[in-house]
Amino acid sequence: MKSGDSEEILKLHQSSRDLLVVVVSALLLLVILQFPYRFWILRTLIIGFNIFIVLGYSIISFSSLGFQEKGLFWRLILSVLVSLLIIISLGYLPLDNHGILRLSAVISIIAGVLAYARRHRRQKMIRGSLKGAGIDEKNIISPSEAAKMAIERHERISMVDEFERAFPSEDYFKIEEEKEKLKTMIRSRIKPIEKIKDTSLDRDKIISLILVFILISMVGATINIVLNPVPSEKFTEFYILGPAGKAYDYPTDLKVGETGEVIIGVVNHEYQTMNYRIVIKLGEETIGNTTLTLKNGEKWEKRFEFTPTEAGDDQKLQFLLYRLPDENRVYRSLHLFINVKG
């Protein structure tokens, strides 16, 4: 075993940097979600890192204290698998993509903090056991190193036995006393580690069973989602664009008799065929009225021209969308304020 393994196994406060990365990454995800139309490359990298690795890593780290002792390859593989299962399960909730990402970030932060608390608690238990055995904390060793040390000490004791048989001495009892001291020292170093291993065995089994149960539940939820997909939030997208097809440069400054033009758009996300009515008003006058039928996912866009006949500032141009057969309640409404000069 390498000399650094003891620090990796027992000096757990030095291996909690991975949890710091988990928490910081999740916080960055929450921040980057506040800027939906900026930092596309950085945004994609942070989202991918969080949903494919960080989420699963934090959950497994909380569930299993020995997770950080595994090789990097296996940690990544397990993290990806668990992350995918959790993300698919979260997709079962009535949340949009941003809601799922925010929830996954919160879960990662909570799991990371709790995992650190569990590691810190275990570290205190280790220190207490070592202190009770009279062992200096600086001499913490791994179980395999303890076994190696026991073998070396045993060889030294065997050499003493051979020396005694070859050269009997009147100081035999002094040598025997030294042997007992060596044996006591070996037991004192191995005993606390064995004690820690024994006390944590049952708890680790319970945690492993809980983790297996969670994984089985996630697999079941995944199968259920695949066989019985739940539609996302039902809604209808309603928008107006300028003449160039952009969400700006609207015709808001006109003269009497001058024609303005906008693009009206409707997208059906209702998961069924829908009938709509669009009513356009300038002030209290209705200047446009049309009906349309759209299948799920179908988009409708049409240019609409209007010509004000009276001068005045802040004339309200309204676009009202009705979901038929309900013609009494406006489902969506948009408006522009038009300044018309004489």
- Tokens for 33? 């979600």
Least confident of 61-75, 99-113, 120-134, 254-268: 120-134
Residue 339 CA neighbour count, 13 Å, CB half:
3
Residue 2 CA neighbour count, 13 Å, CB half:
5
Where does the pLDDT of residue 5 fall: very low under 50, low under 70, confident under 90, or very high at 90 and above? very low
Strand order in the sheet with 299-306: 235-241, 260-269, 299-306
Nearest to 238 by CA among 265, 269, 257: 265
In sequence order, which ranges of the chain are alpha helices (DSSP H)?
5-9, 17-32, 40-49, 55-63, 72-90, 97-132, 143-166, 172-227
**Residue 298: what pLDDT?**
92
Strand partners, 239: 265
Specify the residue for token string 């059906």. 268
**Residue 11: what pLDDT?**
46
Where does the pLDDT of residue 1 fall: very low under 50, low under 70, confident under 90, or very high at 90 and above? very low
Top-confidence range, 102-111, 170-179, 183-192, 225-234: 102-111
pLDDT cut 70: percent of the chain above it: 63
Strand partners, 316: 337
Q: What is the pLDDT of residues 16-39, one digit of tens each?
A: 788 889 999 999 999 988 876 677
Instruction: Give the predicted TM-score (pTM) of the model.
Output: 0.43
**Residue 12: what pLDDT?**
40
Strand partners, 168: none
Where does the pLDDT of residue 264 fall: very low under 50, low under 70, confident under 90, or very high at 90 and above? very high
**Residue 184: what pLDDT?**
62
Strand partners, 36: none
Q: Give residue limits of the domains in the chain.
A: 5-227, 235-341
CA angle 1, 142, 79 (to 5 degrees): 80
**Residue 279: what pLDDT?**
95
Q: Which one has a higher pLDDT value, 22 or 147?
A: 22
Instruction: Tell me the longest C-alpha to C-alpha distance in the chain.
Output: 128
Least confident of 120-134, 160-174, 235-249: 160-174
**Residue 212: what pLDDT?**
62
Residue 4 has pLDDT above 50, yes or no: no
Strand order in the sheet with 274-282: 253-255, 332-341, 312-324, 274-282, 285-294
**Residue 131: what pLDDT?**
65
- Cβ-Cβ contacts under 8 Å for 312 (sequence gap 6 or more): 339, 340
- Tokens for 305? 């021209």
Transcribe 183-231 into DSSP letters: HHHHHHHHHHHHHHHHHHHHHHHHHHHHHHHHHHHHHHHHHHHHHSPPP
Q: What is the pLDDT of residues 186-229, one digit of tens each?
A: 555 555 544 545 444 456 566 666 666 665 665 555 555 555 55
Strand pairing of 235-241 and 274-282? unpaired
Mean residue pLDDT of the chain comes to: 76
- Tokens for 287? 């200047």
Residue 151 has pLDDT above 60, yes or no: no
Where does the pLDDT of residue 8 fall: very low under 50, low under 70, confident under 90, or very high at 90 and above? very low
- Which homologous superfamily is 235-341 in? Immunoglobulins (2.60.40.10)
Where does the pLDDT of residue 61 fall: very low under 50, low under 70, confident under 90, or very high at 90 and above? confident
DSSP 116: H
Where does the pLDDT of residue 172 fall: very low under 50, low under 70, confident under 90, or very high at 90 and above? very low
Strand partners, 333: 320
Q: What is the pLDDT of residues 306-328, one digit of tens each?
A: 999 888 899 999 999 999 988 88
Report the chain's C-alpha Rg in angstroms.
Answer: 35
Transcribe 270-301 into DSSP letters: SSS-EEEEEEEEETTEEEEEEEEEE-TT-EEE
- Cβ-Cβ contacts under 8 Å for 122 (sequence gap 6 or more): 12, 65, 200
Helix (H) or strand (E) run with residue 235 in it? strand 235-241
Mean pLDDT of 163-192: 55
**Residue 94: what pLDDT?**
74
**Residue 26: what pLDDT?**
92
